[in-house]
Amino acid sequence: MKPIDPRLIRRIGPARRYILVTAGLGFLTALLILAQALLIARLLAPVLSPTDLAEDGLHWWGRLMPEGTRTLATGLSLLALVVLSRTAVAWLQERLAHRAGVRVISQLREMVVDHVASRGPRWDSGGRTAQVATLVTRGLDDLLPYFVRYLPQLALALTVTPVMLVVLLGLDWLSAVIAAATLPLVPMFMILVGLVTQERSARHLEAMQRLGARTLDLIEGLPTLKALGRERGPATRVRELGEAQRRATMGSLRVAFLSGMVLELLTTLAVAIIAVTMGFRLIAGGIGIETALAVLVLAPEVYLPLRNVGMHFHASADGLAAADAAFALLDEDADAPARASLGVAPDPRGKVLDVAGLAVATPDGSRRAPADLSFTAAPGRITALRGPNGEGKSTALLALTGLLTPSAGTVAVGGTPVVTDAAAVDEASWLAHVAWVPQRPDLGPAGRTLSLGQRQRTALARAFDSDRALVLLDEPTSHLDRASRADVIARMRALADAGATVVVATHEAEVLDAADAVVEVTAARTGPAA
């Protein structure tokens, strides 16, 4: 997985700005660490040197930190200033990281939700909305550790590490060579360890997931077992599966932690070797104490960001995967063929609604529901669509709204087509005349606190009061008591009497009795010929 998803930078403004600011703060941190190391060397060298310090041990870098800083008062005040600055940078980085992280998550969430809301009603087939809801809430929240922990360390690895290498080179070329030579070993060995253990860890991972799934399967079935009086037995099996899973997990961890060990081993050993080498060169007079101190303090800083990047990578992998899924969703059906436009919709008031040969394929393509629906719904009349569940009553209503493109057939008002399998009138102009109440009305977040019956009554009231010419009702009485049902039927009748065209999908006798016409809706299996 790439450390930075380019789509985050390209499409999400706050992410782009944050990455730039973090890189800047990373560079500032590098300068502060450098100043700290040089000051420590300046302050400590005079008391450790057996003779007076004749030359400037910081060489070129002495220009940044003049020899005057060797005096305790000057050096310590500067060091205190560095400490305060580092404190401020640490505070600022954390603040900005959290702020940018949640902003990016919100923006990505809003983009995905808007995108899904603009898809047709068929998009949700197979419970995809539930999956997307999980993705945009819990899934995207995993991006936070990526922004707060991983990216800053990545910025440091890209700034501090190279800056420190250059500084080391200016101080003591031999130490710089040791550091530069070990650096590439880190990724090399990690890749090597990864390659050697790949097959083994894949096997462990697979066993781990399989055993985990089996344990959960057993636990999920607990209510079933209880209902049959057989709940006591599987506890032992839960333990056995758990033990097997633990062994598999440990097997995979033993391998997975190896690369972490290689990273720590190489970086720490390199620092130790630099220190020991300098020790013997000091004795031989090959290097000054001031230089040696600066190198000793700086050497671990070369490796520290690399270690931290490795440490935080796994925590951020989930978030990056979620972002990837979100972008994949956003790019989905970007190239779906646009329906041809039939222009502005005619006003259906007082006109007959004509449905001819309407068919809609089910999402899996195995059936057509409805299969071949033709009927006429006149203004002032209640037309009922009847049929068993799953035959396509609700789908037929959706096709009348024009939001679902039928596989075949035409919907027309007063002889003018409004929806066909290839074209539709302008959505807003048509829907301005259409009232539609689904089986489980949503009514927005506020509506979620209401019971289904209350929601249905509220949604029906909205339709009855809307003064729209075409009223589509899907099982309007299914969650209502007897009194409310009678009321709904009366209001339907009143609407029709006022000139509206009412089409209602139902299987309830009372509603069918009240209808002026009843149309049978049937589905058909898609034959090999079709």
Partner 1 sequence: MSARELTDMAALRAAIRDTGVTRWAIARAVLAGTLALGSAVGLAAVSAWLIAKAAQMPSPADVALAATVVRLFGISRGLFRYLERLASHDAALRGVVTLRERTYERLAGSGARVVLGLRRGDIVARMGADLDAIGDAVVRALIPLAVAGTVSAISVAIVAVIMPVAGVILALCVVLAGAVPAVLTARSARIAAVEGTRARAEVSAAALSAMDGATEHRVWGTLGEASGALRTADAEAEHAHELASRPAAWAAGAQTFFTGVALVALLALGVLAADAGDLDGPFAAVVALLPLAAFEAVGAVPPAVQQYFRSAAAARRLAELTEVEDRTDAGPAPAPRASSLELDHLSVAWPGMEPTRPVSASVAPGGVLAVVGRSGVGKTTLLATLAGALPPAAGHATVGGAPSSPALTGTTVAMTAEDAHVFGTTVLENLRVARGDVDEAQAWDVLALVGLDPWVRGLPSGLHTELGAGGRTVSGGERRRLLLARTALTSAPVVLIDEPAEHLDDAGADALRAMVTRMRGEGRTVVLVTHDLSLLDLADSVVTLDD
| Binders in 386-415 for partner 1, by CB under 8 A | 388-390, 398, 401, 403
The Cα-based distances of 162 to 35, 176, 423 in angstroms read 16, 11, 60
Cβ atoms of residues 480 and 447 within 8 Å: no
Q: Binding pattern to partner 1, positions 90-109, x when CB under 8 A?
A: xxxxxx--xx--xx--x--x
Binding-site member from 20, 64, 76, 166 for partner 1 (CB under 8 A): 76
Q: Which residue, among 421, 436, 164, has the nearest Cα to 301 in the 3D structure?
A: 164
Considering only 88, 191, 202, 530, the residue that binds partner 1 (CB under 8 A) is 88
CB of 392 to partner 1, least distance (A): 14
Binding mask 482-521 vs partner 1 (x if CB under 8 A, - otherwise)?
Answer: x---------------------------------------
Classify 406 as helix, strand or coil. Answer: coil
10, 13, 66, 110: which one binds partner 1 (CB under 8 A): 110
At 67, list the tokens.
């020899």
Q: Give all strands of the β-sheet with 501-505 in edge-to-edge order.
A: 434-437, 470-474, 501-505, 382-386, 517-520
d(CA 301, CA 33): 8
Give the C-alpha separation, 175 to 494, whole Å.
92
Q: Binding segment for partner 1 among 339-347, 374-382, 433-441, 486-494 (CB under 8 A)?
A: 433-441
Name which of 155 and 289 has its Cβ closer to partner 1.
289
Positive or negative CA dihedral for 409, 411, 417, 420? negative
**What are the residue ranges of helices labelled H in 409-481?**
427-431, 444-447, 452-464
Choose, by CB under 8 A, the member of 166, 188, 196, 216 that binds partner 1.
216
- Return the number of the residue (338 or 529) whose C-beta is nearest partner 1: 338
The letter for the amino acid at 35 is: A
Nearer to partner 1, 370 or 441 (CB): 441
Residues from 447 through 476 that contact partner 1 (CB under 8 A)? 447-448, 452, 459, 462
Residue 54 sits in the site that holds partner 1 (CB under 8 A): no
Please check whether residue 89 is in contact with residue 83, taking contact to mean a CB–CB distance below 8 angstroms: no
Q: Are 434 and 472 contacting, i.e. CB atoms less than 8 angstroms apart?
A: yes
Query: Within 13 Å of residue 278, how many CA atoms lie on the same side as its CB?
Result: 27
Interface map 237-276 toward partner 1 (x if CB under 8 A): -xx--xx-xx--xx--xx--xx-xxxxxxx-xxxxxx-xx
**What's the CA dihedral at 204, 210, 213, 215 to 10 degrees?**
-80
Yes or no: say if 463 and 437 are a contact pair by the CB < 8 Å rule.
yes
> Which is nearer to partner 1, 82 or 322 (by Cβ)?
82
Closest CA to 59 of 42, 80, 77: 42
Residue 166 C-beta: closest distance to partner 1, Å = 21
User: Shortest Cβ distance from residue 476 to partner 1 (Å)?
Assistant: 13
The interface with partner 1 within residues 14-43 (CB under 8 A) comprises: 36, 40, 43
Residue 233 binds partner 1 (CB under 8 A): yes
Rule CB under 8 A: is residue 79 a binding residue for partner 1? yes
- Could you say whether residue 200 binds partner 1 (CB under 8 A)? no
Q: Count the site residues for partner 1 by CB under 8 A.
A: 138
Residues 154-173 that bind partner 1 (CB under 8 A): none
Q: What is the β-pairing status of strands 517-520 and 408-413?
A: unpaired
Write the DSSP string, 466-501.
S--SEEEEESTTTT--HHHHHHHHHHHHHHHHTT-E
Binder of partner 1 out of 20, 72, 192, 328 (CB under 8 A): 72
Contact yes or no for 514/392 (Cβ under 8 A): no
Query: 40 or 361: whose CB is closer to partner 1?
Result: 40
Q: Which of residues 125-154 bind partner 1 (CB under 8 A)?
A: 129, 132-133, 136-137, 141
Closer to partner 1 by CB, 63 or 232: give it.
232
Radius of gyration (Cα) for the chain, nearest Å? Answer: 36
Q: Which member of 184, 195, 199, 229 binds partner 1 (CB under 8 A)?
A: 229
Alpha carbons 389 and 472: distance in angstroms, whole number: 18
Q: Is 339 in the site for partner 1 (CB under 8 A)?
A: no
C-beta closer to partner 1: residue 269 or 374: 269
- Cβ 95 to partner 1 shortest distance, Å: 4
Token pair in block for residue 435: 């009232």
CB closer to partner 1, 42 vs 368 = 42
Closest to partner 1 by CB, 123 vs 517, is 123
* Residue numbers 273-292 binding partner 1 by CB under 8 A: 273, 275-276, 278-280, 282-283, 285, 289, 292
Residue 145: alpha-carbon gap to chain centroid: 13
Q: How many other CB atoms are there within 10 angstroms of residue 331's CB atom?
A: 11
